[in-house]
Amino acid sequence: MSAEGQSTPTPDGSVRGATPATRRAVVVGGNRIPFARAGGAYAKSSNQDMLTAALDGLIARFGLQDERIGQVAAGAVLKHSRDFNLTREAVLGSALSAETPVYDLQQACATGLETVVGLANKIKLGQIDSGIAGGVDSASDAPVVVSEGLREVILDLHRAKTLPQRLQILSRLRPKDLAPLAPGTAEPRTGLTMGEHQALTTAQWKISREAQDEPGPQQPSQARCRLRLRILR
């Protein structure tokens, strides 16, 4: 993604001074790793592994080795706690210059698109001249965490000062506390997934199956457009 200059002339031919001119932000290319089924080819690959591979493919394709890009923005929805700086670590592990500024972003179903929008706005405002936007997610390497009961015990053990205090804390553990918690996609406030919310919305608004399928012929071109926008998605 890079900038194209664009002036804002007034009707008399002079350049408008009250409002700064914005530039065009254009997508100049992209790269992605192949799609694969969950538990398949990427079963042992982390989000960082896949994002770094996609970055290095883009770098090789456009000759960006050791280049300092204006900014790299990417992210994931299902993240381990170790991935708090996911995109920065991916850039450091790639062939880009380590001086390249980076930030992470997370938005359900739209992480890659939001990074494109964010960097495009910075380019248009002249804050950067180029950027790499993307997103990554793996259902094969989903984070599995301990139960809330076990987490509280571990934290209290860390704060305990004496052996009797530690033994008293350990006595609170129950067998159910040892069961891990698998990640879920349900909304915390409703307990419903995005698909279940959509089913309720469809029923409430009385949207027929025919109306839902109506945009079908346009979907392939829309999908290609989304793929072009999401540079690393």
Phi, psi of 101 (to 5 degrees): -65, 145
Phi, psi of 169 (to 5 degrees): -65, -45
Which amino acid appears at position 204 of this protein?
Answer: Q
**Share of the chain residues as helix, strand and coil, in percent rounded to the nearest 5:** 40, 10, 50
The predicted structure's pLDDT at residue 39 = 87
pLDDT in tens, the chain (233 residues): 766 655 555 555 545 554 567 889 999 999 999 988 888 999 999 999 999 999 999 999 999 999 999 999 999 988 888 888 999 999 999 999 999 999 999 988 889 999 999 999 999 999 999 999 999 988 888 888 899 999 999 999 999 999 999 999 999 999 999 998 877 778 889 989 888 998 999 999 998 888 887 765 555 554 444 433 343 33
Contact 57, 31 (CB under 8 A): yes
The predicted structure's pLDDT at residue 231 = 39
The predicted structure's pLDDT at residue 90 = 96
Report pTM.
0.73
The predicted structure's pLDDT at residue 19 = 53
